[in-house]
């Protein structure tokens, strides 16, 4: 069997690998003929990098589109590596993904046969077709270069040495040329009958060899202007062998009609250049960066990037809510009937294997009620150590919540999660891992055996098994999940969508979420609809949760006054507070009462003067809005309004960039400017590290009105 020369090998490689191989051949010939060929080492490095970028492209595309980007550990690795796109990082990404995507997608398996191909060349370096040319170092025959993937690793090392200023010796270059040949020949053999094609209208090109070549007729089955891997059937295969469908590679591979050869492939990949708002792209033919927004494909790349969810992963999976409980305990009043019903439901045999539901209007205090339940159980929950490797701890003294009502913990194993868009608490993966770690600790089980990072495996396999095991060990299990409406993700990936359609004996799950005035909760109701009505028990006293009675308001005001060192509340003030707090409801709105409490602490409200009480919640919001500083150019107001329309938290850099692009603002704003004005916004913001958002949805509605739910809108439900 004759050996293909490298010119023919180049014709069988996806563009622009063939073009790069031809350039290396020209450099090698110049070197053989005694010329300096200073670019040859850099051409070799570029060839290896291009191979790895192409392999990364297919790996990540198949992982996101076919597999669904379900493994949080892999997602984090991908994002971290692509933020620092070195050749070594491209190779790490490929080697982490290719086995998984090859198992899920036969098209990826066929493509990655290239990397598993033998890493070999004809003896004596004959592939370089130069009379008398013979390299001085044969391709090593040790295990390190048995496959093309291993040879690519050698090219990464060659590139790294070159980039660190080490001039390659003659022997180094000879060996690197053999490595290039081994990779090229492995690709030509493994990718035989695999072509990269693109259709634009009624014209088409094969993106192979030195330059893209037009061909006819155009394959109308290919998506328009989408570079696509096309797999021709193997003539040796049986007639009933399944045919591989084309593999589209947009938006990671970008096409545009070119001015010279008829087609141009500009960009292979993108990296996140500090924030999702600023994506940059790594060039396909070279390593240069380009601003994605200038390419006209920014939204497509951004949408693809968002399909790689990187859920925050706390160092210790158990999230603590002691501070939240202490905050609510300061002025917790009333709600005795709700707590009594919850306790009655949880100790009742009828509740085992069921979901107990607490519904509430916005700001009515559902989280406060469950925080008091957390405070009651905390001493028993905290009296256990963990049995996982790096987070192993010994049992410690039980913790208590200062100011919480004293009550003996209820029996059984308990786990709590309070959803909120902070600390990653809105993600189902974080929530379920925290709940499971709490149960493992109380049952004396090793966390590491249960806490996987694949959400699908976690909710379908590990969680049901753990609940049954802990119930058998501890007698009963109670899981408390607050504010399901705050959880993000699709219907299947949000926390409500992860709840099982059946629960083991001995397990009760107490869930709460926000409803509207008609006692509906749109998305959460839909996510829970698959659970049988027989397994769902609504709390009579919270269907939905009502406001506070007048006598409870009086107790609360006396507590607020006592904490501020004031005397008893006068009746005129109680009347003013009751009137304002019942503007929209028959009972007092706890959310408004929180404003009164904060107003007393800040000196804006004097409980001895009824006229200082805001007439309504709207008036309270308006007072804070009007008190904001207006310099420079209403920047504080602009920040709040921008946060009002954002669904996610913002940061100083993102907001500065957005406002600077607004011609109405008339001046450039820096992140430091935003940080400075943010100090004047005080309690109107909540923080998650360097990110922040509005402190409550009711303030959002005051600023920008009722915004459509983007998920419901995408599903055509609004």
Torsion angle of C-alpha atoms 633, 636, 642, 645, degrees rounded to 10: -130
Check pLDDT > 90 for residue 415.
yes
Cis peptide bond upstream of 388, omega within 30:
no
Which has more confidence, 123 or 416? 416
User: Which ranges in 461-570 belong to alpha helices (H)?
Assistant: 463-474, 522-528, 550-563
pLDDT for the residue 394: 66
- The predicted structure's pLDDT at residue 689: 54
Return the pLDDT at 711: 44
Beta strands at 507-514 and 354-360: parallel, antiparallel or unpaired: parallel
Q: Please give the residue that has the higher pLDDT: either 145 or 332.
A: 332
Specify the pLDDT at position 692.
76
Q: What is the pLDDT of residue 132?
A: 36
Task: Quickly count: other Cβ atoms within 10 Å of residue 126's Cβ.
Answer: 15
Segment 654-675 shows an average pLDDT of 78
* Identity of the highest mean pLDDT range in 98-102, 323-327, 633-637, 667-671: 98-102
Averaged pLDDT, 92-120: 88
Rg (CA), the chain: 32
Provide, rounded to the nearest whole percent, the portion of the chain with pLDDT above 90. Answer: 14
SS (H, E, C) 244-262: CCCEECCCCCCEECCCCCC
Q: Which range is least confidently modeled, 173-187, 409-423, 648-662?
A: 648-662
Please give the full DSSP string across 79-122, using - where no structure is assigned: HHHHTS--HHHHHHHHHHHHHHHHHH-HHHHHHTHHHHSB----
Q: How many residues does the chain have?
A: 718
Q: Are 98 and 112 in contact (CB under 8 A)?
A: yes
> In angstroms, rounded to a whole number, what is the distance separating the alpha carbons of residues 325 and 399?
12
Of 533, 484, 479, nearest to 512 (Cα)? 484
| Six token digits for residue 615 | 């007439």
Q: With 50 as the cut, is the pLDDT of residue 542 above it? A: yes
- CA 395 to each of CA 315, 441, 466, 668: distance values in angstroms, whole numbers, following the listed order: 19, 10, 21, 54
Using CA atoms, how far apart are residues 303 and 340, in angstroms rounded to an integer?
47
Pick from 203-212, 398-407, 496-505, 527-536: least confident: 398-407
pLDDT of residue 511 exceeding 90: yes
Task: Calculate mean pLDDT across residues 56-64.
Answer: 89
More confident residue, 149 or 564: 149
User: Six-digit token pair at 492?
Assistant: 């299947």
| Per-residue pLDDT tens over the stretch 429-439 | 899 999 999 99
Contact by Cβ (8 Å): 289, 85: no
Q: SS3 letters for 396-441?
A: CCCCCCCCCCCCCCCCCEEEEEECCCCCCCCCHHHHHHHHHHHHHH
Q: pLDDT value at position 390?
A: 57
Q: What is the pLDDT of residue 404?
A: 77
Rounded Cα distance, 503 and 232, in Å: 49
CB proximity list for 45: less than 8 A, separation 6 or greater: 87, 155, 158, 159, 162, 163
Within 13 Å and on the Cβ side, how many CA atoms surround 287? 17
Please check the confidence at residue 538 and state whether its pLDDT lies above 60: yes
Pairwise pLDDT comparison (39 vs 292), residue with the higher score? 39
Average pLDDT over residues 49-66: 89
C-beta separation of 167 from 178 below 8 A: no
Q: How far is CA 611 from CA 16, 564, 587, 604, in A?
A: 76, 19, 21, 11
pLDDT of residue 687: 67
pLDDT at 277: 46
For the purposes of burial, counting CB atoms within 10 Å of the CB of 287, is it exposed (0-12), middle (13-18) or buried (19 or more)?
middle
Res. 154: pLDDT tops 50: yes
Average pLDDT over residues 44-55: 89
- Phi-psi label, residue 2: left if phi above 0, alpha if psi -120 to 50, beta otherwise: beta
For residue 360, give the nearest of 171, 228, 543 by alpha carbon: 543
Question: Which residues, listed in sequence order, are joined to residue 118 by a DSSP beta bridge?
Answer: 147
Q: Residue 220 is encoded by which pair of tokens?
A: 């109308």
* Position 569 confidence tier, pLDDT thresholds 50, 70, 90: confident
Q: Which residue has the higher pLDDT, 266 or 244?
A: 244
Q: Contact at 8 Å (CB) between 23 and 214?
A: no
Q: Give the span between the Cα atoms of 688 and 432, in whole angstroms.
A: 20
pLDDT-based confidence at residue 426 (cuts at 50, 70, 90) = confident
pLDDT over 90 (residue 254) = no
What pLDDT sits at residue 241?
Answer: 67
pLDDT in tens, 201-253: 888 888 888 878 888 898 999 988 888 999 988 777 666 767 889 999 888 77
The pTM assigned to this predicted structure is 0.64
Q: Residue 540, exposed/middle/buried by CB under 10 A (0-12, 13-18, 19+)?
A: exposed
Q: Mean pLDDT over residues 617-621, rounded?
A: 78
Model confidence at 272, in pLDDT bands (50, 70, 90)? very low
DSSP 195: E
Sorting pLDDT into bands at 50, 70 and 90, what band is 712? very low
Q: What is the pLDDT of residue 374?
A: 92
Region 165-174 average pLDDT: 85
pLDDT at 413 over 90: yes
Residues 410, 346 contacting (CB under 8 angstroms): yes
The set of residues, in sequence order, having a beta carbon less than 8 Å from that of 455 and lying 6+ positions away, is: 70, 72, 428, 429, 432, 493, 498
Alpha carbons within 13 A on the beta-carbon side of 552: 17
Average pLDDT, the chain: 80
Return the higher-pLDDT residue of 12 and 704.
Answer: 12
Please say if the pLDDT value at position 527 is more than 80: yes
- pLDDT bin (cut points 50, 70, 90) of residue 271 is very low
CA distance 137 to 124: 9
Among candidate residues 543, 508, 538, the one with its CA nearest the CA of residue 346: 508
Residue 301 token pair: 């790349």
pLDDT at residue 295, as a whole number: 54
What is the maximum span of the chain, computed from C-alpha positions, in angstroms? 108
Residue 359 and residue 542 in contact, taking contact as beta carbons nearer than 8 Å: yes
- Confidence (pLDDT) at 1: 41
* Predicted local distance difference test score (pLDDT) of residue 126: 42
Contact 115, 149 (CB under 8 A): yes
- pLDDT of res. 2: 55
Q: Chain centroid to CA 162: how far?
A: 36
pLDDT score for 284: 53
Please state, as a whole number, how many other Cβ atoms lie within 10 Å of the Cβ of residue 414.
26
What is the separation, in whole angstroms, between the first and last Cα of the chain?
66
pLDDT of residue 439: 95
Dist. CA 218–CA 230, nearest whole Å: 13
């Amino acid at each position: 069997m004759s050996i293909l020369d490298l010119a023919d090998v180049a014709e069988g490689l996806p563009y622009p690998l063939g073009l790069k191989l031809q350039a290396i051949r020209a450099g090698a010939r110049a070197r053989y003929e005694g010329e300096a060929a200073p670019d040859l080492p850099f051409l070799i490095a570029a060839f290896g990098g291009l191979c790895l970028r192409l392999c990364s492209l297919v790996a990540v595309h198949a992982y996101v589109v076919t597999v669904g980007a379900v493994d949080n550990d892999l997602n984090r690795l991908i994002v971290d590596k692509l933020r620092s796109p070195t050749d070594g990082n491209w190779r790490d990404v490929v080697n982490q993904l290719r086995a998984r995507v090859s198992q899920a997608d036969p098209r990826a398996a066929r493509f990655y046969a290239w990397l598993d191909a033998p890493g070999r060349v004809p003896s004596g370096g004959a592939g370089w077709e130069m009379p008398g040319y013979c390299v001085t170092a044969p391709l090593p025959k040790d295990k390190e270069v048995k496959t093309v993937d291993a040879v690519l690793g050698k090219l990464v090392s060659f590139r790294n040495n070159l980039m660190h200023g080490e001039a390659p010796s003659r022997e180094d270059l000879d060996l690197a040329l053999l490595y290039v040949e081994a990779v090229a020949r492995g690709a030509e053999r493994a990718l035989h009958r695999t072509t990269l094609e693109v259709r634009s209208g009624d014209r088409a090109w094969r993106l192979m060899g030195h330059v893209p070549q037009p061909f006819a007729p155009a394959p109308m089955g290919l998506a328009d202007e989408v570079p696509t891997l096309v797999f021709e059937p193997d003539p040796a295969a049986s007639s009933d062998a399944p045919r591989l469908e084309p593999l589209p590679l947009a938006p990671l591979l970008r096409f545009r009609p070119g001015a010279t050869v008829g087609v141009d492939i500009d960009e292979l990949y993108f990296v996140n250049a500090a924030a999702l708002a600023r994506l940059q792209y790594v060039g396909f033919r070279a390593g240069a960066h380009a601003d994605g927004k200038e390419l006209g494909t920014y939204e497509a790349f951004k949408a693809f990037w968002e399909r790689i969810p990187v859920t925050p992963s706390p160092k210790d999976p158990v999230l603590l809510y002691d501070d939240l409980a202490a905050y609510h305990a300061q002025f917790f009043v009333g709600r005795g009937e709700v707590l009594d019903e919850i306790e009655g439901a949880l100790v009742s045999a009828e509740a085992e294997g069921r979901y107990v539901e607490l519904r509430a209007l916005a700001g009515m205090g559902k989280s406060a009620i469950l925080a008091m339940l957390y405070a009651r159980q905390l001493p028993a929950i905290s009296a256990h150590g963990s049995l996982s490797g790096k987070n192993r701890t010994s049992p410690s003294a039980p913790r208590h919540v200062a100011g919480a009502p004293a009550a003996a913990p209820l029996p059984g194993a308990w786990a709590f999660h309070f959803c909120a868009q902070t600390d990653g608490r809105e993600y189902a993966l974080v929530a379920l891992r925290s709940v499971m770690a709490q149960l493992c600790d109380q049952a004396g089980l090793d966390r590491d055996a249960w806490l996987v990072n694949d959400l699908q495996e976690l909710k379908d396999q590990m969680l049901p098994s753990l609940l049954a095991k802990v119930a058998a060990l501890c007698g009963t299990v109670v899981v408390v999940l607050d504010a399901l409406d705050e959880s993000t993700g699709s219907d299947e990936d949000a926390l409500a969508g992860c709840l099982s359609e059946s629960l083991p004996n001995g397990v009760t799950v107490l869930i709460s979420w926000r409803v509207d005035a008609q006692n509906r909760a749109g998305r959460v109701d839909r996510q829970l609809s698959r659970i049988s009505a027989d397994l769902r028990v609504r709390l009579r006293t919270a269907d939905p949760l009502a406001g506070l009675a007048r006598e409870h308001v009086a107790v609360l005001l006396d507590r607020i006054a006592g904490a501020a060192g004031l005397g008893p509340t006068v009746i005129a003030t109680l009347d003013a507070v009751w009137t304002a707090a019942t503007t929209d409801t028959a009972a007092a709105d706890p959310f408004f009462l929180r404003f009164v409490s904060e107003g007393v602490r800040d000196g804006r409200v004097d409980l001895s003067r009824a006229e200082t009480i805001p007439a309504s919640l709207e008036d309270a919001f308006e007072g804070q809005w009007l008190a904001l500083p207006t310099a420079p150019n209403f920047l504080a107001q602009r920040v709040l309004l921008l946060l009002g329309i954002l669904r996610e938290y913002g940061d100083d850099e993102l907001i500065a960039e957005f406002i600077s692009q607004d011609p109405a603002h008339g001046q450039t704003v820096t992140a430091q400017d935003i940080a400075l004005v943010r100090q004047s916004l005080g309690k109107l913001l909540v923080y998650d590290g360097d990110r922040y958002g509005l402190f409550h949805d009711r303030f959002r509605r005051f600023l920008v009105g009722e915004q459509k739910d983007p998920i419901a809108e995408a599903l055509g439900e609004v």
